[in-house]
Chains A and B, each alone.
Chain A
Amino acid sequence: MALLNIKNLTVKFATATGSFTAVDGIDVHVDRGEVLAIVGESGSGKSVSMLAVMGLLPDTATITADEMTYDGRDISDLSATERRHLIGREITMIFQEPVASLNPSFTVGFQIEEVLRLNLGLSRHEARTRALDLFRAVGIPDPETKIDAYPHQMSGGQCQRVMIAIAIASNPRLLIADEPTTALDVTIQKQILDLLMKLQEDFGMALILITHDMGVVAETADRVVVQYQGKKMEEADVLSLFEAPQSPYTRALLSALPEHATGDRLPTVSDFFSQEVAR
């Protein structure tokens, strides 16, 4: 049975120039322990659909869905208290900018202990011990010293590890990672992806990975959803997607990868669409 099941999700934003549809009838489901990648360019609505699930959209957004269930429970109409019990414990999220996601005025130790005390009801002492365990689990070197560091004293990769430690603190069953490695170098990206995959396997978490990078998809996903301008273009398991992409948009995205360049020019998505139309 699906852990998270969303049918026909539509998100509209009220803007000065009228209503704008960011997500247009998307179905998403993810099973226990599965890695789902949602791929698309900026503006494709890939983050918005997950923010809608988390209840993190501003009041200008109108969210409608035929079905929105987590573990068989309807989550479309939760009260604020009920939502807090779910979000941050069962479902957690990490974001693109690790340095911006942490509060610069508090030590990273304080920020992770706050989560442990508020969400799991641990005492200060227990929280400190558990925080150190989590720092070791996500591979932060010298955790006893780093726990008292401020975010600006750590590198981007280390801040992202702290964010991951906070996100897995309550043993969530679903982790949503929104472009977790986009701000990082390739070598650090590799380490963070390996870490996410290891944690995902060790804890049997489901993982939804939002990305625009086909390389990241190839290295992590079980199943892939390709989104373009708020609509789902294609859904397939990772192997079939790369072997035989069905939608012209997916083919365009794959051919825009620099390593797939055949001649002097890189094919772009717009080139591809004009070709498809000409055919």
Chain B
Amino acid sequence: MTATSLAPVVEGRGIVQDYAVPGSLFARAGKVRALNGIDFAVDKGKTLAIVGESGSGKSTLARIIALIDAPSGGELRIDDHPVDIARKRPGPALRSKVQMVFQNPYGSLNPRQKIGNVLMEPLVINTDMPASERRDRAEAMIKKVGLQPEHFNRYPHMFSGGQRQRIAIARALMLNPSLLVLDEPVSALDLSVQAQVLNLLADLQDEFDLTYVFVSHDLSVVRYIADEVMVISKGEAVEQGSREALFADPQHPYTRALFAATPVTDVAAIRARVERRKAARAG
């Protein structure tokens, strides 16, 4: 192994993001600090889960890692090279390395675009591959994510939420990325469909040695998929560590609050609740 292969696929050092709040008749212009000095590193083939509630800054961080937004401060390194998209627009090579899957599979696909074209478009933009090869690649990817070849010429409205999320994942994988940023990819899905998509993500990670940054507010999903976990609250990383350590012994009060809010489905807890209720009714 060479030194470069040991370096993290993606690394952030003191990432800061400020959003400008425009002034109005009654308020002066100001800024909101959405992220305040976030450090992280993800090794090849591993999954970093970013956990927090809405407004915590987890999606802001995901957008920075996916090279959509430039951070206002700090350094983002991909494959051990500093990346600053504010100074230099990323070219096809860098774009191919990092891809993103969004939360809402209903909003992230163009309703007028056939699935085949959805999948071939990244190749048209970022490579000079001939049309026939693009088509072969797209057809292979459709099969890879568990859809049928005849889906190639269909439109997004003909698919269920779970199938659309498979299409969004397929699109993200067309350029053979090494890093996939997944922003709440299963939150909009039913329980059993969620299980299928999580299984698919696990299979693809093994097959292509993919690195995931997985944004979620659902701790039960995080426990299943993550290697490392970072808990964000109000733009600060309040707790960071391996999945085992974090789930065995959460340190920060905010992490504990998240755990306390997650519904428990074990029989002892249900029995306790049912008995509490019975007692309350009798008394």
Say whether A186 contacts B218, CB under 8 Å: yes
Nearest A residue to B257 via CB reads: A187
Q: In the complex, A214 Cα to B267 Cα: how many Å?
A: 12
Chain B residues, CB < 8 A from A185 = 53-54, 217
Say whether B191 contacts A186, CB under 8 Å: no
Interface residues in B, total, Cβ within 8 A: 37
The range of chain A's interface size is: 35 or more
B60 at the interface (CB under 8 A from A): no
Nearest B residue to A267 via CB reads: B195
Say whether A186 contacts B264, CB under 8 Å: no
Residue in B198, B267, B280 whose CB lies within 8 Å of A258: B198
> Which of A42, A243, A254 neighbours the largest number of chain B CB atoms within 10 Å of its CB?
A42
Chain B residues, CB < 8 A from A264 = 202
Say whether A216 contacts B263, CB under 8 Å: yes
Q: Which of A44-58 contact B (CB under 8 A)?
A: none
Residue in B223, B262, B274 whose CB lies within 8 Å of A215: B262
The interface residues of chain A, by DSSP majority, are classed as: helix
Q: In the complex, A47 Cα to B260 Cα: how many Å?
A: 29
Q: In the complex, A269 Cα to B274 Cα: how many Å?
A: 28
Q: In the complex, A201 Cα to B218 Cα: how many Å?
A: 28
A257 at the interface (CB under 8 A from B): yes
Q: In the complex, A250 Cα to B261 Cα: how many Å?
A: 24
Q: In the complex, A253 Cα to B271 Cα: how many Å?
A: 20
Say whether B192 contacts A269, CB under 8 Å: yes
CB B45 to nearest CB in A, in angstroms, measures: 14
Chain A residues, CB < 8 A from B245 = none
B193 at the interface (CB under 8 A from A): yes
Q: In the complex, A256 Cα to B191 Cα: how many Å?
A: 7
Say whether B195 contacts A266, CB under 8 Å: yes
A213 at the interface (CB under 8 A from B): yes
CB B134 to nearest CB in A, in angstroms, measures: 32
Q: In the complex, A201 Cα to B282 Cα: how many Å?
A: 12
Chain B residues, CB < 8 A from A237 = 274
Task: Evaluate whether A258 and B223 lie within 8 angstroms (CB atoms) in the complex, with A187-B53, A219-B263, A239-B270 already known.
Answer: yes
Chain A residues, CB < 8 A from B219 = 186
Say whether A238 contacts B274, CB under 8 Å: yes
CB A17 to nearest CB in B, in angstroms, measures: 14
Say whether B263 contacts A242, CB under 8 Å: no
Chain B residues, CB < 8 A from A215 = 220, 262-265
B224 at the interface (CB under 8 A from A): yes
A41 at the interface (CB under 8 A from B): yes
A268 at the interface (CB under 8 A from B): yes
B140 at the interface (CB under 8 A from A): no
Task: Evaluate whether A219 and B264 lie within 8 angstroms (CB atoms) in the complex, with A41-B193, A186-B53 already known.
Answer: yes
Task: Evaluate whether A218 and B263 lie within 8 angstroms (CB atoms) in the complex, with A186-B258, A264-B202 already known.
Answer: yes
CB A263 to nearest CB in B, in angstroms, measures: 11
Q: Which of A181-232 contact B (CB under 8 A)?
A: 185-190, 201, 212-216, 218-219, 222
B199 at the interface (CB under 8 A from A): yes
Nearest B residue to A204 via CB reads: B281
Nearest A residue to B206 via CB reads: A264
A259 at the interface (CB under 8 A from B): yes
Chain B residues, CB < 8 A from A267 = 195
Nearest B residue to A157 via CB reads: B54
Chain A residues, CB < 8 A from B260 = 190
Q: Which of B251-283 contact A (CB under 8 A)?
A: 257-258, 260-267, 269-271, 273-274, 277, 280
Q: In the complex, A187 Cα to B260 Cα: how many Å?
A: 8
B190 at the interface (CB under 8 A from A): yes
A252 at the interface (CB under 8 A from B): yes
A265 at the interface (CB under 8 A from B): yes
Chain B residues, CB < 8 A from A14 = none
Chain A residues, CB < 8 A from B264 = 215, 218-219
CB B31 to nearest CB in A, in angstroms, measures: 21
Chain B residues, CB < 8 A from A42 = 161, 190
Say whether B191 contacts A214, CB under 8 Å: yes
Q: Mark A158-185, 1 if CB is under 8 A from B, else 0.
A: 0000000000000000000000000001
* Known interface pairs A215-B263, A219-B263; 12 further A-B residue pairs with C-beta atoms within 8 A, sorted by A's residue number: A41-B192, A42-B161, A186-B218, A186-B258, A186-B261, A190-B263, A213-B191, A238-B274, A243-B267, A253-B192, A256-B192, A270-B192
List chain B positions with a Cβ less than 8 A from chain A: 53-54, 161, 190-196, 198-199, 202, 217-221, 223-224, 257-258, 260-267, 269-271, 273-274, 277, 280
Please, could you name 19 A-B residue pairs with CB atoms under 8 Å apart, sorted by A?
A41-B190, A41-B192, A186-B258, A186-B261, A186-B262, A186-B263, A190-B260, A218-B264, A218-B269, A219-B264, A219-B273, A239-B270, A252-B192, A253-B192, A257-B220, A258-B223, A259-B265, A261-B224, A265-B202
List chain A positions with a Cβ less than 8 A from chain B: 41-42, 155-156, 185-190, 201, 212-216, 218-219, 222, 237-239, 242-243, 252-254, 256-261, 264-270
Q: Which 4 A-B pairs have the closest CB atoms?
A: A215-B263, A190-B261, A269-B192, A266-B195
